């Protein structure tokens, strides 16, 4: 995605969010830009926020959401994903997929003739990061000049944050255990795009002076090495000691669901610097702009 497209999505999300203050959750926006359009959202893994936000986003845009568990489809009995993609391309106008394996998403997208949205894979979670960028914009007025810090596992959410830092030329420091850090090619891609990226294995080095501290669970959906992870990650907890060395104005972000006492202390996630509930709400507003962009609005 281009910087112009990403910036348009953030601006459109903010504009629509402020235009519907006080409106009931499923009441459509005045212009109902997706009236008559249908989105199918398919989930191979659990979801609360992504499922609800795609559903509400479509209703608020005047369209129809169809939310499906992959296990209930013939896909769950072995129907090829390409055949599912071809059939759905005749039924609906766009698809969002939460896939166990990233390859399933790309195979679906290759066979589909309609827009296919990544609703999280083991590789990336771009819709989450768009909601996070929206939250940062609301909290600080602009993204330029912010120092962002990612603490913990270099997982799907972290990879999307790194990709966004490249596209928007943001300053991002990561503190990850060596065995759960980014690949050189991940760093090279973001740096090559213009991101100011640093990587440490020490949380204090990354968090010092940060305006926003991000983390996520130590064990993501589909990770099979949970015992190993629970021995490696404890020094990477975001707690009040770590937040104390971030900037005075620093905020804490987490995509949720969170494990209090593991990657984040209850004091931090439930404390005054936490913006996680605003961040979760912003999934709806970001999703709406993402959907509009997929239907042709905004720059390419």
Give contact residues for ligand NVA (rule: CB under 6 A): 120, 155-157, 216-217, 220-221, 255
Q: Does 94 bind ligand CP (CB under 6 A)?
A: no
Judged by CB under 6 A, the residue of 64, 87, 193, 256 near ligand CP is 256
CA distance 223 to 161: 20
User: Which one is catalytic: 49, 51, 98, 229?
Assistant: 98
Q: Tokens 């936490």 — which residue?
A: 274
Q: Does 47 bind ligand CP (CB under 6 A)?
A: yes
Dihedral sign (CA 156, 290, 286, 194) = positive
Partner from ligand NVA, ligand CP, none contacting 48, C-beta within 5 to 8 A by type: ligand CP
Q: Does 49 bind ligand CP (CB under 6 A)?
A: yes
User: Which one is catalytic: 128, 237, 273, 287?
Assistant: 128
Burial tier of 29 (Cβ tally within 10 Å: 0-12, 13-18, 19+):
middle
Note whether 239 and 215 are within 8 A (CB): no
Is 125 marked active-site? yes
Q: Which of 210, 124, 223 is nearest to 175 (CA)?
A: 210
Q: What is the DSSP letter of 274?
A: B
3-state secondary structure (DSSP) of residue 275: coil
In the shown chain, the binding pattern of residues 107 to 146 toward ligand CP, with x for contact by CB under 6 A and - for none, equals -------------x-------x------------------
Is 128 marked active-site? yes
Q: Which of 249, 160, 267 is nearest to 210 (CA)?
A: 249
Q: How far is the CB of 125 from ligand NVA (least distance, A)?
A: 6
Note whether 90 and 113 are within 8 A (CB): no
Q: How far is the CB of 253 from ligand CP (least distance, A)?
A: 11
Q: Does 290 bind ligand CP (CB under 6 A)?
A: no
Partner from ligand CP, ligand NVA, none contacting 217, C-beta within 5 to 8 A by type: ligand NVA
Q: Which two tokens stand for residue 52?
A: 């609800």
Q: How far is the CB of 207 from ligand NVA (least distance, A)?
A: 20
Residue numbers at the binding site for ligand CP (CB under 6 A): 47-50, 120, 128, 255-256
């Amino acid at each position: 995605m281009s910087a112009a497209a990403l910036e348009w999505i953030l601006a459109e999300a903010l504009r629509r969010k402020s235009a519907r203050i006080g409106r009931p959750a499923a009441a459509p926006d005045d212009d109902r830009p997706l009236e008559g359009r249908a989105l199918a959202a398919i989930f191979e893994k659990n979801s609360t926020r992504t499922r609800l936000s795609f559903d509400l986003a479509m209703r608020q845009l005047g369209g129809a959401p169809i939310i499906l568990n992959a296990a209930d489809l013939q896909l769950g009995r072995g129907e090829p994903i390409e055949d599912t993609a071809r059939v759905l391309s005749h039924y609906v106008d766009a698809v969002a997929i939460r896939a166990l394996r990233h390859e399933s998403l790309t195979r679906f997208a290759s066979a589909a003739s309609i827009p296919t949205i990544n609703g999280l894979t083991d590789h990336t979670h771009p819709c989450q990061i768009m909601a996070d960028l929206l939250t940062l914009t609301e909290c600080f007025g602009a993204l330029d000049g912010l120092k962002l810090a990612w603490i913990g596992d270099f997982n799907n959410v972290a990879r999307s944050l790194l990709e966004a830092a490249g596209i928007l030329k943001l300053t991002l420091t990561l503190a990850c255990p060596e065995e759960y850090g980014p690949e050189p090619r991940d760093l090279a891609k973001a740096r090559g795009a213009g991101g100011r990226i640093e990587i440490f294995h020490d949380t204090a080095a990354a968090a010092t002076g940060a305006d926003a501290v991000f983390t996520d669970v130590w064990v993501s959906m589909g990770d099979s090495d949970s015992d190993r992870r629970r021995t490696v990650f404890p020094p990477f907890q975001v707690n009040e000691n770590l937040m104390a060395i971030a900037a005075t104005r620093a905020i804490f972000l987490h995509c949720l669901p969170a494990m209090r006492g593991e990657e984040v202390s209850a004091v931090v996630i439930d404390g005054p610097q936490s913006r996680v509930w605003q961040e979760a709400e912003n999934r709806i507003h970001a999703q709406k702009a993402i959907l509009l962009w997929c239907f042709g609005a905004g720059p390419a």
